[in-house]
């Protein structure tokens, strides 16, 4: 075995704040972390036989069961990867100073024959808007730097009940990308710029050379560390695209659940109407294991929406991992706007469509589905896209107030739940704090979205909010996904990349995205002469109606097993 020494002492200043290195730090905390590990471990042949890079949760569990590795050694191996590559990709906002202590405790329980659940001894990470009480929860906002909330999120407790080790908090787009217009994905005042491991170079183009990566990371959740094998899997949150987008950009499997499937209690909100946590992993199997753990054994009394969907038997989503699940499945192809450009009614404008490279990729996907026995229904267009009635056409739907109103309502409720220790007591106070600390970097990209939300009056603006919410539900759900799926008796709709995110977000419907290929990184200004970006990942999404996760997981798993297209980040093994 590795030699055992006492775990790092959280009160030791060398390890009490294992946070991501930032430019003003003289000695990166991860360098100190390496020193701590070097003093505690002596590698031996047993662990040399187990490599955590791209390892799945079942592979880790089997190695633990066989005695080929301990939970402590898994944590140490992941910490070494963080220390080795963090400076290149900036995936981590904080590391749990108790991680090794927790691992030792779980190893003792395993030795005594007590296994807590499917994640016993497995290191995972959380987006830094999810409450933990052994690490700060900042949302990436400078006003919350160092703030440890007085209670942990329900999903954090559920993961711990399943045996998971919460190893770290991930970078994110500040306040889940509801602070500023034009803020790069995975940028925050606390964490700086996350970098895509598939091309972590800085963008050299004028107007974009502020530190952001040349290949977007997706956001607001981060898939960087999961793609890099810094941990086994991670938990993101989505209001509209924030699980699907980073999963796509980092060649991950992401499950954006039905709103209410997983508790939002103890998660910094945008709006309860659309917010949901969900797993991000390197395989469908790992994501399914995470889903069961995140959902927990019973609805959460702190979040009434958790009554929405019925749990699968024993909360086990791995029972839906069926490699032949595509046989006979009816998969719809929503051509209009999502594949093909379509004219906006009453105008000469056209919207949507794919590049030639993306179209070729999706043609390949459709052929693969047919080879696996799926019944491809093509086209399966959304009625709300083609409806000539202006009032019922999704493309003519104006800007909705739902997110702004929800932010004013739900963010203030969240602040109130923190009690007297909250760094600020209202959205207004946060905006004022940011203005007062601008010179410290509190609002590099300003705070336009917070300003718009805070300007609302929750009583006077309620009728507009309610009308917008009803219209969102109609055009995206009832007259959109629901209508086409019912009319054509579909099991799922197939979308290119994460393109169903905004559509499914409004009614709170689930999507599973699976890695598939790479496409050219186009868009924006030309690159300097002699400078070429690398291709970026591109996935495939299966979207369905409310509470359809079991079927979507089955379809996604069958597709994954037939293709196995995930590729780890180059040069970082």
Tokens coding 425 = 């007591």
Residue 401 — φ and ψ, nearest 5°? -85, -5
Helix H segments across 267-381? 284-295, 335-338, 356-371
Catalytic residue, from 242, 247, 499, 541: name it: 242
Q: Are 178 and 410 in contact (CB under 8 A)?
A: no
**What is the C-alpha to C-alpha distance for residues 204 and 217, in angstroms, rounded to an integer?**
16
Residue 349: Cβ within 10 Å count: 10
Residue 330 — φ and ψ, nearest 5°? -95, 110
Q: Are 241 and 501 in contact (CB under 8 A)?
A: yes
Reduced to 3 states (helix: H, G, I; strand: E, B; else coil), residue 479 is helix
Q: How far apart are the first and last CA of the chain?
A: 24
Nearest to 430 by CA among 171, 222, 138: 138
Catalytic residue, from 19, 71, 188, 220: name it: 220
425 is catalytic: no
Tokens coding 225 = 């560390």
**What is the C-alpha to C-alpha distance for residues 384 and 460, in angstroms, rounded to an integer?**
30
Q: Are 235 and 277 in contact (CB under 8 A)?
A: yes
Residue 532: Cβ within 10 Å count: 10
Catalytic residue, from 19, 71, 127, 169: name it: 127
16 is catalytic: no
548 is catalytic: no
**What is the C-alpha to C-alpha distance for residues 552 and 110, in angstroms, rounded to an integer?**
33
Reduced to 3 states (helix: H, G, I; strand: E, B; else coil), residue 519 is strand
Vertex 557: Cα angle to 556 and 563 (nearest 5): 90
| Secondary structure in 3-state letters for 105-133 | HHHHHHHCCCCCCCCCCCEEEEECCECCC
**What is the C-alpha to C-alpha distance for residues 124 and 277, in angstroms, rounded to an integer?**
14
Residue 315: Cβ within 10 Å count: 18
Tokens coding 49 = 């036989």
**What is the C-alpha to C-alpha distance for residues 280 and 254, in angstroms, rounded to an integer?**
4
Question: Cα-Cα-Cα-Cα dihedral of 319, 324, 328, 330, to 10°?
Answer: 70
Q: Are 168 and 95 in contact (CB under 8 A)?
A: yes
Residue 1: Cβ within 10 Å count: 13
Give catalytic residue positions.
127, 220, 242
């Amino acid at each position: 075995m590795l030699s055992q020494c006492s775990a790092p002492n959280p009160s030791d200043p060398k390890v009490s704040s294992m946070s991501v290195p930032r430019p003003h730090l003289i000695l990166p905390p991860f360098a100190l972390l390496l020193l701590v590990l070097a003093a505690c471990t002596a590698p031996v042949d047993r662990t040399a036989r187990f490599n955590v890079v791209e390892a799945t949760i079942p592979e880790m569990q089997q190695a633990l069961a066989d005695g080929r590795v301990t939970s402590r050694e898994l944590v140490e191996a992941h910490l070494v990867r963080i220390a080795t590559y963090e400076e290149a990709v900036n995936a981590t906002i904080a590391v749990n100073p108790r991680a090794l202590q927790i691992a030792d405790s779980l190893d003792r329980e395993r030795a005594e024959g007590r296994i807590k659940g499917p994640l016993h001894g497995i290191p995972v990470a959380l987006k830094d808007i999810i409450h933990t009480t052994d690490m700060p929860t900042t949302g990436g906002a400078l006003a919350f730097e160092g703030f440890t909330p007085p209670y942990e999120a329900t999903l954090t407790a559920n993961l711990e009940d399943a045996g998971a080790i919460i190893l770290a908090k991930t970078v994110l787009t500040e306040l889940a990308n509801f602070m500023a217009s034009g803020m790069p994905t995975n940028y925050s005042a606390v964490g700086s710029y996350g970098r895509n491991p598939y091309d972590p170079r800085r963008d050299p183009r004028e107007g974009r050379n502020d530190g952001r990566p040349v290949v977007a990371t997706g956001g607001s959740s981060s898939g960087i560390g999961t793609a890099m094998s810094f941990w086994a899997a991670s938990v993101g949150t989505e209001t509209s695209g924030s699980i699907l987008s980073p999963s796509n950009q980092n060649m991950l499997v992401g499950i954006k659940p039905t709103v209410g499937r997983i508790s939002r209690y103890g998660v910094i909100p945008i709006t309860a109407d659309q917010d949901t946590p969900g797993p991000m992993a390197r395989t469908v199997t790992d994501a399914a294991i995470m889903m069961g753990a995140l959902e927990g054994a019973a609805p959460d009394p702190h979040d009434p929406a958790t009554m929405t969907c019925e749990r699968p038997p024993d909360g086990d989503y791995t029972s839906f991992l069926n490699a032949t699940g595509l046989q006979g499945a009816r998969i719809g192809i929503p051509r209009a706007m999502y594949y093909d450009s379509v004219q906006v009614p009453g105008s000469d404008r056209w919207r949507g469509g794919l590049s030639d490279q993306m179209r070729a990729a999706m043609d390949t996907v459709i052929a693969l589905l047919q080879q696996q026995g799926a019944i491809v229904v093509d086209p399966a267009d959304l009625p709300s896209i083609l409806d000539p009635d202006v009032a019922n056409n999704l493309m003519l739907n104006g800007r909705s107030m739902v997110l702004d109103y929800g932010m004013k309502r739900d963010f203030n409720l969240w602040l109130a739940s923190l009690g007297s220790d909250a760094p600020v007591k209202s959205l207004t106070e946060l905006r004022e704090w940011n203005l007062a600390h601008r010179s410290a970097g509190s609002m590099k990209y300003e705070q336009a979205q917070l300003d718009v939300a805070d300007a609302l009056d929750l009583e006077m603006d309620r009728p507009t909010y309610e009308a917008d919410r009803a219209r969102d539900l109609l055009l995206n759900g009832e007259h959109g996904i629901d209508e086409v799926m019912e009319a054509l008796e579909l099991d799922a709709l197939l979308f290119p990349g994460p393109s169903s995110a905004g559509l499914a977000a409004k009614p709170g419907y689930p999507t599973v995205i699976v890695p598939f290929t790479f496409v050219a990184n186009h868009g924006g200004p030309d690159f300097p002469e002699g400078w070429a970006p690398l291709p970026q990942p591109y996935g495939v999404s299966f979207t369905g109606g409310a509470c359809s996760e079991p079927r979507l997981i089955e379809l996604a798993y069958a597709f994954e097993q037939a293709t196995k297209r995930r590729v780890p980040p180059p040069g970082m093994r």
